[in-house]
Amino acid sequence: MAKNIYNNETFLSGRIGKLVYRTVRGKQVVSSYSKPRDPQTRDQQLVRSRYALLGRIASFCKYVTRVGFHSEAQQTRSHALARFMKANWPNISGSTPADLQVNWDDLVVAKGSNRRITLDSDHIDQTSVPGTISVAVQERGIVSGNYNAKDKCYLVAVCPEVEDACISDPVVRDEATELAVTPPGWWSGHKVYLYCFTTAPDNSEASESMAVGKIDFVIE
């Protein structure tokens, strides 16, 4: 049993006997616990394995999710990592724990209704500055929608092979001609997946993330 504080209120989490305490959307919820008759069924093992895999991804993407899922977590009164796992549950496929696969091309690293920014996925560059990946901005979202010239734009890099992720410094939308991110040197020789998203100037709303493309990252 543990205590956690949410909006200056104290809630219990965990199990005491047959009572399970948890927090749902800022409210204390108590339910009864019943032990599964067969906790090792094929379906239960598959669900546990999917949760474990998503949890591992969420762990190494935690700094990204704190930005990309901040607004949704606030609105739903939940945790950013939990929102990340829910958004990416459909991106895990496989009928047994041994053959689970992640669809990295559709990974969701941000969620919200803010206006997205579009990058030129045909021109991903890592030669102008050694160790830096840059992508030119194709469309800033000026023509319509929830557009704000002061929106902050981010480029995210995820390297599944080394289980690591990083996020760029924000660039103001009206000043963005390209977005750039600098992964750690130990990523060299591995495939890197790129995503972009925006947030409102006060981080009150993020956009749905967009997959930019992938690149074999090499530092010469």
Residue in 150, 164, 65 with CA at minimum distance from that of residue 111 = 65
Alpha-carbon gap, residue 98 to 115, rounded angstroms? 39
pLDDT tens-digit readout, 12-26: 777 776 677 777 767
- What's the chain's average pLDDT? 86
All structural domains of the chain with their residue ranges: 2-32, 42-105, 108-217
Structure confidence at residue 129 (pLDDT): 78
User: 76-85: long-range contacts (C-beta < 8 A, 24 or more apart)?
Assistant: 76/25, 77/6, 77/25, 77/26, 78/25, 83/111, 84/58, 84/108, 84/109, 85/51, 85/54, 85/55, 85/58
- pLDDT, average across residues 190-214: 94
140 pLDDT above the threshold of 70: no
Task: For domain 108-217, give the CATH number.
Answer: 2.60.40.10
Structure confidence at residue 143 (pLDDT): 47
pLDDT tens-digit readout, 164-199: 999 999 999 988 899 999 999 999 999 999 999 999
Confidence of residue 107 (pLDDT cuts 50, 70, 90): very high
Structure confidence at residue 38 (pLDDT): 60
pTM exceeding 0.85: no
